[in-house]
Structure 1
């Protein structure tokens, strides 16, 4: 009996230590971001999008995970999913730091995979959702890992950044380590309401942060940036109390010559047509198409809806994004681009599919890209159980 009691005491002690470690990590780790001051919270409370103490979607659309839907999601997590990750990581094209310094006014676009971009235009360097780290998780060594271990370029090799645009505070869009490496070489950060709280906690000076509500815009010399609606949610998971405590958005980027739309994360909804009426047509739409599932289609578009959304905003060209870097859902890793491209072929909407790191120039013609992802279908499948 004494041995049993001793064993139970040891196990209970281990459990208490483990729980205490988790609590301390949640409380002290900078990965989770910051909390707004009382003054900042009063500003957020005045937003039309802030209701009952939380930010909300147009029409109060929510992702409900109750009853049968909840159990269906749990079951999905334990199903076998062939080819959810590539057998070999996509090989990025190396970006030349010297070439990036030759920012001569052309609208140039570089994709880092997922939803991260470098845009060079009118002599400015703009980063969008710069998740340039290896793990989309607060715990890097056990979290969701990037397919490719090598990036097209290291942050330290990038030219000075004039502006970082952030769509929302999820880990696959707002990365603590990336911001820490970028903050000293970046002049300004534009975010939706509340996200600046995380940046300030990570050492970004308040004078360099501009927080916008939906339909508000900011000017950087001859460039205009408008914070527009998305149908999503927010939260970095700290005690689950921060859910919807910051706003999420899409972005309209306007130069004297070009107009580009960046969707951020969003389910399909009427906001796309509203944006199209107010700001369309667009020369290019960077539109999410990956990490989808019928169980959460309220907050992530199905690939066919990606093309419908691009048509709604009156895009002349669409680039499907939010795929090719991380496994955050259970579908074949090539399904998003395959299905979106097939739908675009039906509608006649031009699609571009650059490789990670490949530079494109938007000069009035459709940039030439290859369907490089089709080559990957010949590779052996990888079976993933989660």
Structure 2
């Protein structure tokens, strides 16, 4: 084979790969970029400038001079089996359809997904029922034993809350399956573009900016809160807004941080809406190389105190591994750092109810039983 012929073959393969990649990026799993009136609304936001959303404080994505490719390669080469549990995680499956909707409670579904009953409303947050939270097969596989629920096992959902558009929070197959069962969606600016492409009725979708307050009932408000993170499902970032949520009923105050690094927004939210009866905070998938966009357990403890929390549960843990730390490291460190704090640390297994009516409850160090 001549060098010329070899070069032509390499070129042909390269062109084929590029064409295939471009074609694959047209798949609906990647969503849709905001445009038209939605884009005009985004451009009017005080949090949008220079053609993208910005955090409240300066937030470099990385704290290292490494390229992203170099960092990914380093993670692969230095990977450890400890990032995944060696056995199935313990769970407690309850029939969500038979729960009394008048009973306020929270059920962790794994990672950042929650089923909530508050003020008579059934609320679902960042639902991911897929066993692989990625558009690429076998790249972000759920831990053994954590694939507990399907969308079909949920009761009708009054409110679906989406914090941002990353694949481990906005899951395409889950959103398709849930669409007939959801009455209303509340999310950050721009996320509606994805939902519209996936067949959601936009009259049922509210896209909100930070600090917008939405009255659901006279007894329940939802505040869309700041987070310190980023967004994007393809190569173009920060075209949709990343958020947290404060759920404020006449009797109970809950807070969901979304993915976030530590920042002054926690203290501001605690002063504006606290004290909170229960909070769930980003406490996993951290690494010194991206320290600005995810909290480590000790920072989560500080955030819980800033929020004046009475009880705290970690999120972004226990189902997927996105960082090189051991899968149980967030639980171990958080249990240690929470000793002597004013809040109670609640560490349910996936599916175990957390009641919000002041009853006595106990939660084990279940991760210590996984060998």
Interval containing the TM-score (normalised by the shorter chain): over 0.9
Match of 2:222 among 222, 225, 228: 225
> Paired residue for 1:284, among 261, 265, 278?
278
> 2:143 aligns to what?
147
2:34/2:239 contact within 8 Å kept: no
Q: Whole-Å Cα distance in 2 between the matches of residues 283 and 364 of structure 1?
A: 10
1:314 is matched with which residue? 308
1:184 to 163, 170, 180: 180
Alpha-carbon distance in structure 1 between the residues aligned to 2:35 and 2:66: 39
**In the alignment, what sits opposite 1:92?**
91
Match for residue 251 of structure 1 among 245, 251, 275 = 245
Deviation of the 1:11 alpha carbon: 4.1
Instruction: State the match for 2:23 in structure 1.
Output: 24
Distance in 2 (alpha carbons) for counterparts of 1:178 and 1:106:
26
SS, match of residue 117 in structure 2: strand
Aligned to 1:333: 327
Deviation at 1:150, TM superposition (A): 5.7
Pairwise CA RMSD of aligned residues?
Answer: 1.8
Does the 8 A contact of 2:90 with 2:145 survive in 1? no
Partner of 1:270: 264
Question: Post-superposition shift, 1:148?
Answer: 3.2
Partner of 2:343: helix, strand, or coil? coil
Give the TM-score, by structure 2 length.
Answer: 0.94
**Normalising by the residue count of structure 1, what TM-score does the alignment of the two structures yield?**
0.91
- C-alpha change, 1:13 and 1:68, in structure 2 (3 Å) is closer
C-alpha distance in 1 between matches for 2:315 and 2:65: 32
After superposition, the Cα gap between the structure-2 partners of 1:218 and 1:98, relative to the gap in structure 1 and judged at 3 Å, is closer
Q: CA deviation at 1:348?
A: 4.5
For 1:37 and 1:324, the matched residues in 2 are separated by 36
Whether contact under 8 Å (1:167, 1:248) holds in the other structure is yes
Q: Is the 8 A contact 2:262 2:294 kept in 1?
A: yes
Counterpart selection for 1:216 from 195, 202, 212: 212
Name the structure 2 match of 1:356: 350
Query: Displacement of 1:63 after TM fit?
Result: 1.5
> Please, which runs of 5 or more residues in structure 1 have no aligned partner?
380-386
Distance 1:98 1:160, change over 3 A: closer
Q: Does 1:47 align with 2:9?
A: no
Q: Shift of the alpha carbon at 1:202?
A: 0.6
1:168 and 2:164 aligned: yes
Gaps of 5+ in 2: none
CA distance in 1, matches of 2:159, 2:284: 26
In 2, Cα distance between the equivalents of 1:19 and 1:53?
27
Aligned residues of 1:134 and 1:149 also touching (Cα < 8 A): no
Give the C-alpha shift of residue 59 in structure 1: 2.0
SS at match of 1:200: helix
Write the distance in 1 (CA, Å) between the matches of 2:146 and 2:346. 23
Rounded Cα–Cα distance in structure 2 between residues aligned with 1:347 and 1:85: 29
Q: Count the aligned residue pairs.
A: 369
1:117 aligns with 2:129: no
